[in-house]
Structure 1
């Protein structure tokens, strides 16, 4: 289970892809496959979630890494470079954001 908390001193990747609706499933499947086969094996990887927009025009990756260096090391590898190259062939655009969790709220029962 993914835990999102500001107490966890990790780096969060929020990558927002714009995609043609007929290619949304292809991009989501590609990202999941690459996470399973490559990213999840990289040092410092914590978790990843893939979200598909309701209108079919977007895919969002929410991923956590132990540190900024862990993410940077992953993206510089042959597998990371291939992931970016192949992903941009499917998506129309991508906006990568590296963040720290600043705050979270949840329902208090």
Structure 2
């Protein structure tokens, strides 16, 4: 389950992909398949959420890992690398970064 909390000791990946609108569905399907087939079975995986912009030009992968080390180990996994390469081929640009939660707000 995704946890968004300032005191959660996890690594959060936010990867923003820029994509041609006619390829947005292809990318969301690819990321979903990669998560179901590979990522969720790797040590340290917590959750992944795939978002598609309403204008068709962006896809965001908001994923959480137990630690930055687990995230980096995933990047070394050959099966994960295959999916990362496929996503990079579909997207025009991608910007993966690890983040910390600095604040949350609710009404």
Per the normalisation by structure 1, the TM-score is: 0.94
CA deviation map 1:57-100 (0-9, x unaligned) = 00000000000000000111101211221111111110011111
Aligned-partner Cα distance in 2 for 1:10–1:56: 30
Aligned-partner Cα distance in 1 for 2:33–2:80: 13
Aligned-partner Cα distance in 1 for 2:35–2:66: 16
Equivalent in the alignment of 1:30: 30
- Residues 48 and 63 of structure 2 are in contact (CA less than 8 Å); yes or no, is this contact kept in structure 1? yes
Structure 1, unaligned stretches of length 5 or more?
none
Bigger Cα displacement from structure 2, 74-83 vs 25-34: 74-83
Question: Matched residue of 1:105: which SS?
Answer: coil
Equivalent in the alignment of 1:62: 62
Structure 2, unaligned stretches of length 5 or more?
none
* TM-fit CA distance, 1:103: 1.3
* TM-fit CA distance, 1:101: 1.2
Equivalent in the alignment of 1:9: 9
Aligned-partner Cα distance in 1 for 2:81–2:2: 26
State the superposition RMSD in angstroms. 0.8
Q: Aligned residues, how many?
A: 107
Following TM superposition, where does structure 1 have runs of at least 4 consecutive aligned residues deviating by more than 6 angstroms? none
Equivalent in the alignment of 1:77: 77
